[in-house]
């Protein structure tokens, strides 16, 4: 790649465009943050309310999964462009990890 210095100034339209994009990103992050706080509240109150374990555990796992997805897509920017390869490797790893866990569960620990 070339490393000669380039001086580059943004036009007014570009400036406004970046501002708008950033504002939208910020709004997305704040919204997600609020949702995540809300989900955490649900989790805590579900435990505090003392429901049956068979109800609470699946709910907690589900909420945790949602939290992970929100974290990845909004705070770690996977929702943006050019993250296809990262997503591919992430999902491959998740699938493999899940398969291994499933086999250990079924053929090592339950026998």
Partner 1 sequence: MSSIAKKKGFGASLWDYLTTVDHKKIAILYLAAGGLFFVIGGIEAMLIRIQLAKPDNDFVSAGLFNEIITMHGTTMIFLAAMPLLFAFMNAVMPLQIGARDVAFPFLNALGFWLFLFGGLFLNLSWFMGGAPDAGWTSYASLSLASEGHGVDFYALGLQVSGAGTYIAGINFLVTIINMRAPGMTYMRMPLFTWTTFVASALILFAFPPLTVGLFFLIFDRMFGGNFFDHTMGGNTIIWEHLFWIFGHPEVYILILPAFGIFSEIFSLFSRKRLFGYSSMVFATVLIGFLGFMVWAHHMFTVGLGPTANAIFSVATMAIAVPTGMKIFNWLLTIWGGSIKVTVPMLYALGFIPSFVAGGVTGIMQAAAPLDYQLHDSYFIVAHFHYVIVGGVVLAILAAVHLYWPLMFNQMLSEKLGKWTFWFFFIGFHCTFFIQHFLGLMGMPRRVFTFGADQGWDTFNLISSLGAILMAIGVIILVVNVIITIVKNEKVGNDPWGDGRTLEWAIPQPIPFYNFKQTPLVRGLDTFWIEKQEGNKEGMTYAEPLSDIHMPNGSIIPLVMSFGLFVASFGALYNGEKDWAIPVLVLGLAITFASMAIRSIKDDHGFHVHKEDILKNEGGNK
Binding site residues, partner 1, CB under 8 A: 1-4, 85, 89, 92-93, 96, 99-100, 103-104, 106-108, 111
Distance separating alpha carbons of residues 7 and 100, to the nearest angstrom = 53
Cβ 93 to partner 1 shortest distance, Å: 6
The closest of 39, 25, 35 to 76, measured between CA atoms, is 25
Encoded tokens for 73: 């897509």
Shortest separation between residue 80's beta carbon and partner 1, angstroms: 16
Taking the least distance from each CB to partner 1, the nearer of 58 and 93 is: 93
Q: Dig out the tokens for 92 from the structure.
A: 């491959």
- 2 versus 9: smaller Cβ distance to partner 1: 2
Please, which residue, 11 or 81, has the CB nearer to partner 1? Answer: 81
Which of 108, 34, 107, 98 has the alpha carbon at shortest distance from 61?
Answer: 98
Least distance in angstroms from the C-beta of 107 to partner 1: 5
Minimum gap (Å) between residue 86 Cβ and partner 1: 9
Q: SS3 of 80, please?
A: coil
């Amino acid at each position: 790649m070339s490393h000669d210095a380039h001086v580059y100034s943004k036009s007014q339209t570009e400036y406004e465009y970046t501002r708008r994009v950033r504002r939208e990103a910020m709004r997305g992050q704040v919204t997600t943050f609020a949702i995540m706080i809300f989900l955490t509240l649900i989790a805590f109150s579900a435990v505090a309310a003392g429901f049956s374990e068979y109800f609470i555990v699946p709910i907690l796992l589900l909420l945790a999964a949602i939290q992970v997805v929100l974290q990845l897509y909004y705070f770690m920017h996977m929702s943006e462009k050019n993250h296809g390869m990262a997503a591919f490797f992430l999902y491959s790893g998740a699938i493999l990890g899940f398969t291994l866990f499933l086999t250990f569960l079924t053929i090592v620990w339950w026998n």
